[in-house]
């Protein structure tokens, strides 16, 4: 791998000051990419088994932050982490991945292409572990404090109970970082974690405007809406009662047919049309639910 490597120790001038002031800062960071990318940023984290709703929220909010010039930080895992990295890179932004293995190790393999882009200069890939260190379960909770330490704010987009994302949120709170969360359906177990965070005082993020205000409050933007930045809301009223029902709560085709008082055949036809338009997606458990456009 030809990407540039760097090593920064806690007493070095380039060691991130905000990380040094966090919880249990690592004595050394090994990295590949641009060490200058290790500036305070927005951490976006969430479930590895994310729904299309969680993945799309991670992508859209990462794009918004990157377009505003904010570095997006996450853990390189499949699911919400990978969606956040990709969202930032898609708009030419910078992203930093903190791994629970060596910074030169592609784990998980599905993230290899995205990690390569960050190592090549579109950010950085870092770890407190040695070169070539293989992933072990206990190393991932430990790396979460580094994700929090590198950030000025942490956004949790989708998380169940229990969830490993809570160790990152706890480290963020202990380090004086802002904790943000995307609310989800009270009927979906995969949103119980984010909903609890909001109940415990996390800032709810329901639209792009909310995120920009939160970034400004965290000191990452000089103004809540950067000059020249244009965006539209995450969703608008569709006029389609089936789509609105699925946005409120994902359902199986049989449940949707019952709620909408339609035949099974007409419901499946309508679901297929919505899925083809990228407005809904079939979840792992057979339900159909929202997949935000864009």
Q: Which residue has the higher pLDDT, 237 or 168?
A: 168
Is 60 exceeded by the pLDDT of residue 293? Answer: no
pLDDT digits (tens, 9 = 90+) for 212-253: 999 999 999 977 666 555 555 565 666 789 998 888 788 999
5-217 and 241-290 share one fold: no
Is 60 exceeded by the pLDDT of residue 62? Answer: yes
Is 90 exceeded by the pLDDT of residue 99? Answer: yes
pLDDT band of residue 53 (cuts 50, 70, 90) is confident
Give the pLDDT score at 4.
Answer: 87
| 241-290, CATH topology level | Arc Repressor Mutant, subunit A (1.10.10)
Helix (H, G, I), strand (E, B) or coil at 232: coil
Helix (H, G, I), strand (E, B) or coil at 194: helix
Q: Which residue(s) pair with 43 in the sheet?
A: 73, 154
Q: What distance in Å separates the CA atoms of residue 190 and residue 162, rounded to the nearest whole number? A: 10
Give the pLDDT score at 164.
Answer: 82
Top-confidence range, 47-51, 100-104, 139-143, 228-232: 100-104
CA pseudo-torsion sign 238, 240, 241, 246: negative
What average pLDDT does range 157-172 have in this prediction?
89
Closest CA to 192 of 170, 165, 168, 167: 165
Q: What distance in Å separates the CA atoms of residue 72 and residue 191, rounded to the nearest whole number? A: 22
User: What is the pLDDT of the chain when averaged over all its residues?
Assistant: 91
Give the pLDDT score at 284.
Answer: 82
Lowest mean pLDDT among 10-14, 129-133, 233-237: 233-237
Give the pLDDT score at 285.
Answer: 85
Q: What distance in Å separates the CA atoms of residue 218 and residue 145, rounded to the nearest whole number? A: 18
Give the pLDDT score at 274.
Answer: 92
pLDDT above 90: percentage of residues in the chain: 72
| 5-217, CATH topology level | Rossmann fold (3.40.50)
pLDDT band of residue 67 (cuts 50, 70, 90) is very high
Is 70 exceeded by the pLDDT of residue 254? Answer: yes
Q: Where are the domains of the chain?
A: 5-217, 241-290
Closest CA to 74 of 34, 114, 23: 114
């Amino acid at each position: 791998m030809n990407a540039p490597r760097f090593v920064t120790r806690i007493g070095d001038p380039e060691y991130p000051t905000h990380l040094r002031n966090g919880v249990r800062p690592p004595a050394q960071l090994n990295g590949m990419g641009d060490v200058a990318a290790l500036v305070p940023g927005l951490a976006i984290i969430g479930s590895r088994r994310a729904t299309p709703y969680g993945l799309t929220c991670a992508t859209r909010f990462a794009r918004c932050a990157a377009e505003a010039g904010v570095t997006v930080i996450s853990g390189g895992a499949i699911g919400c982490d990978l969606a956040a990295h990709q969202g930032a890179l898609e708009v030419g932004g910078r992203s930093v991945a903190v791994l629970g293995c060596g910074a030169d190790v592609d784990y998980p393999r599905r993230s290899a292409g995205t990690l390569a882009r960050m190592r090549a200069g579109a950010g950085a890939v870092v770890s407190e572990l040695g070169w070539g260190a293989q992933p072990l379960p206990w190393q991932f909770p430990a790396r979460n404090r580094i994700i929090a330490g590198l950030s000025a704010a942490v956004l949790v987009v989708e998380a169940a109970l229990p969830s490993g994302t809570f160790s990152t949120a706890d480290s963020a709170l202990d380090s004086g970082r802002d904790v943000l969360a995307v609310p989800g359906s009270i009927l979906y177990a995969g949103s119980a974690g984010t909903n609890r965070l909001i109940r415990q005082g996390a800032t709810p993020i329901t639209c792009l405007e909310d995120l920009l205000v939160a970034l400004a409050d965290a000191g990452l933007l000089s103004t809540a809406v950067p000059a020249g930045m244009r965006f539209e809301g995450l969703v608008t009223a569709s006029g389609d009662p089936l789509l609105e029902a699925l946005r409120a709560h994902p359902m199986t085709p049989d449940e949707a047919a019952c709620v909408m008082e339609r035949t099974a055949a007409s419901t499946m036809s309508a679901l297929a049309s919505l899925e083809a338009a990228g407005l809904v997606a079939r979840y792992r458990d057979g339900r159909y639910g929202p997949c935000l456009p864009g």
